[in-house]
Structure 1
């Protein structure tokens, strides 16, 4: 080999060696120790024996217990209705009015309507005493609604337009002028004055009901529905509206002959804790029976945790020099904790009020991958799950 070729090969070897050294320096320490064979084995002591170690550490947190797929919330029979009845809104025994050319006597009749929206067919009725002369004039809130001769006996009831009414109203009775007969006086006596109307009673138009949803039910809610059986008379009822927590989920006239009306609504509309149901009738009488809110819960898939045992560790446990122990640390320090540990297909139940529980898993271990699952028998909160290889 020529001198120039030899020097070039030396340079190339130096560059390769430098890159290898730089690679070894830059890789993580654990991989560098494994590559160079300088690290201590995690499973072996200096004399080749298997040492104790933590095999698994997890924080499972909250594990909900569901003993059924459906939760039913029955409600009592619900009656919602509006009732229309004829009522006397105001009355006055006597009104005496008169008018001369230079003087006048009038009679005021104030009345109040508390719920104007639910009042219809308002009538003014009265009787005129015999001996009355002239025209009787009636004003409502300043507008003339009647002007006719004061004939003795019961006058035909005056239909008062609803748009002429207010909450506070004033009827004024007065007599017509005698005109050019200045020496005369028109005198009229009005008796048995009444304001009568059809009033819709809306006190039972709405019904408010409460049902409760637990934290576990809300966390695992997949579907939720309301159902009821309507009892009503077709043609005599208006719309039935239903609100859940302020959100309208139904507003129509149901079929009065249906055995059951199902209404499914979004699970997001249901709240943990109190939930408010409001039924309201626009018109007529509804009796709602077999009312129920039904929750369909998703199946809970509890997590499975895995850890590995080497051949040396497996032999150490089966020969009795080491043990595999599982420890559960709970959040609640007083409540009863019930459930079972499923380890490699073997169940170990627990029922304790302690803050922690320990299990010896040594009898059911396998070489290689081992599996642990916790199945609660009541809702649990687990701070830590730890599996140790112990002396």
Structure 2
């Protein structure tokens, strides 16, 4: 019995110890941070898969999360809103020449009591191109009575002609038809039954002026691709007509068989004809010019197409405010920095802001000069231009007149031979038209930071007035563009990353517009990423893909990651 009691007491002691240890473990788990407790117990955290938060989410425990994942596919590039399709020059014209429409060697007509002989002459013409038709003949010795001529049933002559004479009769143009009958006869002798009237005619001809239209028409073509036709907003045909107004007739223009103009073109000036975009097709389109009269030299011909603004894909994502913190307040001005302020006791020869505060007509040199006092100067002469290695400039960034077209003149549109791309903006964009340029030497950066093919996020704030590209699009905002009283920033332990995957190693060129701010992309790699921590904000965000050339994108991903 004693042994049994001793065993029971030992069992009770062990149970109490287990209970105490279990209670300590539970208390330890309860006092762990929520994220560590979730990891220990194999539970999910308070964040939802779409970036939303559960009831237990807070700033200290926000995990990494994917905010956006899209299979983008192909994004086609539209190089310009306007396209010009040139057409070679050509000449069109008509040529009018006299011609023989009908030729008969001889003809005899007679009228008596016992016999009447009448002759018919038939001939064909094109009334649209035939003018000044004439019937000519020779009268031989046999000539008595009145010669009678009828054209298409209407008498045009009833006249006596002398023997051995040459005659002609104008044929009225309004009576001419495509098929014509000219009837020749002679008047009757009347009561003098013993008489006979007759005419022997020879060398009979029907002649006229015939307009040659073989060179009156020209047809040319131009090609539109399907993307251009799909985006077409307006189209117009433009040309110059070299002609003499008094010698030319109506000009007709047809596009794909439809008449778009019929009238008298203005000679020597630019003619513009608006086209119905519905008459244009993808592939080959035909344009015809036809003149009724005279000669036209048609030059400087083009079809101008204006396209609708391209709609490039935009994707949206939300970020919870738990990832952000707010900072406020302005920093004090620093002597030597281009920050828009001149600190007290700062020399104009050290600080650009102080230089122009001293006098807004002064000139400034971005690089330090060899001699003290040469950096901020009141005037510049041709002999002192070389004292500034980056080129003197006024308050608006323009070179003095005596230093124009020197290396460092950013507004002359030319890169002088041997000039560095870090000194002259024109040289920067000539080196590569997708480079970014900073008008001042970025704060705390070397001279090579002035012209860059791409700018890291932590470098952008170093350029006082923002980096920009050849088209003038700025890469990032200055502090003045933000709300300085309440500037929202991503918390230091997180970073927002944009990642793209591509199906090939072709050159990819695009601009990713994140909340209105540009990120340049240029790569041959199959993957690319960029830190967009400075671009995002709490709540709704957007990213748009603007291609620099047609591009295939496998996926676009935006995520917030714990650093």
Question: Could you tell me which residue of structure 2 aligns to residue 19 of structure 1?
Answer: none
Preserved CA contact (<8 Å) 2:68 2:557: yes
In the superposition, the TM-score normalised over structure 2's length comes to 0.50
**Pair 1:42-2:48 in alignment:** yes
Specify which of 141, 144, 147 is matched with residue 155 of structure 2. 144
How far off is 1:153 after superposition?
Answer: 2.9
Query: How far apart in 2 are the matches of 1:219 and 1:337?
Result: 26
> Any idea what SS the aligned residue of 1:235 has?
helix
Check if 1:90 corresponds to 2:102. yes
Aligned-residue offset at 1:126: 0.6
Counterpart contact for 1:317–1:324, Cα < 8 Å: no
Matched position secondary structure for 1:117: coil
Q: Distance in 2 between matches of 1:73 and 1:324?
A: 40
1:132 deviates by 3.1
Counterpart in 1 of 2:280?
271
Q: Which has the higher mean CA deviation after the structures are superposed, 160-169 or 233-242?
A: 233-242
Residue in structure 1 matched with residue 512 of structure 2 by the alignment: 342
- SS of the aligned residue for 1:238 comes to coil
1:149, CA displacement in angstroms?
A: 2.6
| Structure 2 CA distance for aligned equivalents of residues 350 and 365 of structure 1 | 21
Note closer, same or farther for the CA distance 1:185–1:209 as it changes in structure 2 (3 Å cut): same
The alpha-carbon deviation at position 343 of structure 1 amounts to 6.8
Tell me by how many angstroms 1:186 deviates: 3.3
Q: Distance in 1 between matches of 2:505 and 2:234?
A: 30
- Cα distance in 2 for partners of 1:123, 1:206 equals 29
Instruction: Tell me which residue corresponds to 1:17.
Output: none
Between stretches 85-94 and 279-288, larger displacement belongs to: 279-288
Q: Structure 1 residues 346, 104: closer, same or farther in 2, change over 3 A?
A: closer
Aligned to 1:283: 293
- Give the equivalent residue in structure 2 for 1:294: 304
Task: Give how far 1:75 is off.
Answer: 1.4
Question: Are positions 1:182 and 2:193 aligned together?
Answer: yes
Partner of 2:372 in structure 1? none
- Residues 1:298 and 1:169: Cα distance change in structure 2 (over 3 Å): closer
Contact kept, 8 Å, 1:249 with 1:265, in 2: the verdict is: no
- Cα deviation for residue 125 of structure 1 reads 0.8
Change (3 A) 1:304 1:66: same
- The whole-number CA distance in structure 2 between the counterparts of 1:144 and 1:85 is 28
Matched, 1:156 2:167: yes
Q: Which residue of 1 aligns with 2:239?
A: 228
Q: 1:336 to 1:121 in 2, by over 3 A?
A: farther
1:109 aligns with 2:121: yes
Aligned equivalent of 1:30: none
Q: Deviation of residue 272 (structure 1)?
A: 4.1
Q: How far does the alpha carbon of each residue in 1:204-229 deviate from its partner, in whole angstroms, 9 at most, with x for none?
A: 33333222223343455565443333
Cα displacement (A) at 1:180: 3.8
Bigger relative contact order, structure 1 or 2, given CA contacts below 8 A and separation 6+?
1
CA displacement 1:156-214 (0-9 Å, x = unmatched): 31122223222211222223333344344433211111111222333333333222223
* 2:19 match: none
Contact in 2 for aligned 1:82/1:282 (Cα 8 Å): yes
The answer on whether the counterparts of 2:139 and 2:200 sit within 8 Å (CA) in structure 1 is yes
Secondary structure at 2:228 match in 1: helix
- 1:66 corresponds to which of 58, 62, 78: 78
Greater fraction of residues in strand: 1
Judging changes above 3 Å, is the alpha-carbon distance between structure 1 residues 57 and 250 closer, same or farther for their aligned structure 2 residues?
A: farther
Instruction: Tell me what 1:5 maps to.
Output: none
The 3 A distance-change label for structure 1 pair 195 and 266 is closer
Q: Distance in 2 between matches of 1:373 and 1:168?
A: 72
**2:101–2:208 CA contact under 8 A, matched in 1:** yes
- Partner residue of 1:376 out of 527, 539, 547: 547
C-alpha separation in 2, matches of 1:84 and 1:335: 65
Q: Give the deviation of 1:312 after TM superposition.
A: 6.5
The question of whether the paired residues in 1 share the 8 Å contact of 2:86 and 2:301 is answered with: yes
CA distance in 1, matches of 2:161, 2:523: 97
Distance 2:119 2:82 in 1: 70
Residue pairs, 1:313-324, within 5 angstroms? none
Cα RMSD of the aligned pairs, angstroms, is 4.2
- SS of residue in 2 equivalent to 1:182: coil
Contact 2:236 2:304 in 1 (8 A): yes
Paired residue total = 338
SS in structure 2 opposite 1:110? strand
SS across alignment from 1:178:
coil
Deviation at 1:60, TM superposition (A): 5.9
- Find the residue that maps to 2:247 and give its secondary structure: coil
Q: TM-score, normalised by structure 1?
A: 0.69
Task: Note the alpha carbon deviations across 1:10-43, whole angstroms, 9 max, x for none.
Answer: xxxxxxxxxxxxxxxxxxxxxxxxxxxxx96415
Q: Unaligned 5+ residue runs, structure 2?
A: 1-44, 325-489
Counterpart of 1:125 in structure 2 is 136
CA distance in 1, matches of 2:261, 2:198: 63
Tell me if the contact between 2:501 and 2:554 (Cα under 8 Å) persists in the aligned partners.
no
